[in-house]
Amino acid sequence: MKPRTVLAGLACLILCAASLTRAALGPGAPIPRKPAALARALVKTKTELARAVDEWRSGGGGVPPEVTLDALYDQRIELLLAARPRLARATLRRVPAGTARVVRTNLAAKRELWRLTPVTRSRRFRTGRALPPAALIGYYREGERRFGVRWNVLAAVNFVESAFNKLRNNSATGAQGPMQFMPATWRAYGLGGDVHDPHDAILGAANYLHANGAPRDNRRALFHYNPSPLYVDAVLRYARRIRGDPRAFYEYYARQVFVRTPSGLRRITGPGLP
């Protein structure tokens, strides 16, 4: 066999192996339950997701399939760890310190939000696509310019409240839109806009947070937004990650919506659903 043919064959094997790995990592790919194997899967997934996000950011466009699948697998691992603290401790002792720190931040935020949010008995959910990341970041930046509220705080609120408008149900108390405003609050701070429009809702949130102390006191402002220390802590954890890691916003953006039901977690967006 000629050297060029050998090289071509090796390249094909590498590409085929990568394709098989992607194919194996389907929406319902199994997750290891033993700490050592789970730690390896976690590190591998975080590494692949970071590479895929970097390629996506440099190339633009919609969320590539590999980002969607890597983000979903990463999210499913973290949900498992959030629900099983002993497994989380045993697993995170086996991963690099930087990765463990990121995961612990995400797990803490998820547990805080679970404590705050009751299990839903609803079987009907309204979902939709988020606007492209560039559009959302542009709106957050506009809110920052107009009201001084940092863009990463607005992004974290948007993520916590509606997964960037992927979840479109009203809350149990009647809050509406991608930033989840109560009607009376929207009338006071919505700047005459449409509560369901992402641009208007993000600017309304910036207006409201600024009126209640942001950016000087984000904790106080967020407590007015939702009077729970659990909510405030969760939003600020996500906000710090988004501010400190250029990939973090895109990783959160690529995640899917899971709801807590009496029978367990149920995924309602993303690949592989009916």
The dihedral built from the CA positions of residue 164, 134, 60 and 152, taken in this order, carries a sign that is negative
> Which tokens sit at 205?
């949130």
Measured in residues, the chain has a length of 274
Cβ atoms of 56 and 250 within 8 Å: the answer is yes
Number of domains in the chain: 1
Question: Which domain does 203 fall in, by range?
Answer: 133-254
* Alpha helices in the chain, H assignment, sequence order: 3-24, 35-59, 65-83, 85-92, 97-116, 133-147, 151-162, 183-189, 198-211, 218-225, 229-244, 248-253
145: domain CATH number is 1.10.530.10
pLDDT at 118 over 80: yes
pLDDT tens figures, 64-90 = 999 999 999 999 999 999 999 999 999
Q: Is residue 65 part of a domain?
A: no
* Residue 24: pLDDT band with limits 50, 70, 90: low
Residue for token digits 């990341």?
133
pLDDT tens figures, 155-186 = 999 999 999 999 999 988 899 999 999 999 99
The dihedral built from the CA positions of residue 56, 59, 63 and 64, taken in this order, carries a sign that is negative
pLDDT at 30 over 70: yes
Average pLDDT on 49-70 reads: 96
For 210-227, give the DSSP string. Answer: HHTTTTTTHHHHHHHHS-
Cβ atoms of 271 and 27 within 8 Å: the answer is yes
pLDDT at 20 over 80: no
Q: Is residue 224 part of a domain?
A: yes
Cβ atoms of 130 and 163 within 8 Å: the answer is yes
pLDDT at 133 over 90: yes
The percentage of residues in the chain with a pLDDT greater than 70, rounded to a whole number, is 91
Average pLDDT on 119-147 reads: 95
Per DSSP, 267 falls in state: E
Q: Is residue 98 part of a domain?
A: no
Q: Is residue 221 part of a domain?
A: yes
Q: Is residue 236 part of a domain?
A: yes
Q: Is residue 19 part of a domain?
A: no
Report the alpha-carbon angle 196-146-254, nearest 5. Answer: 50
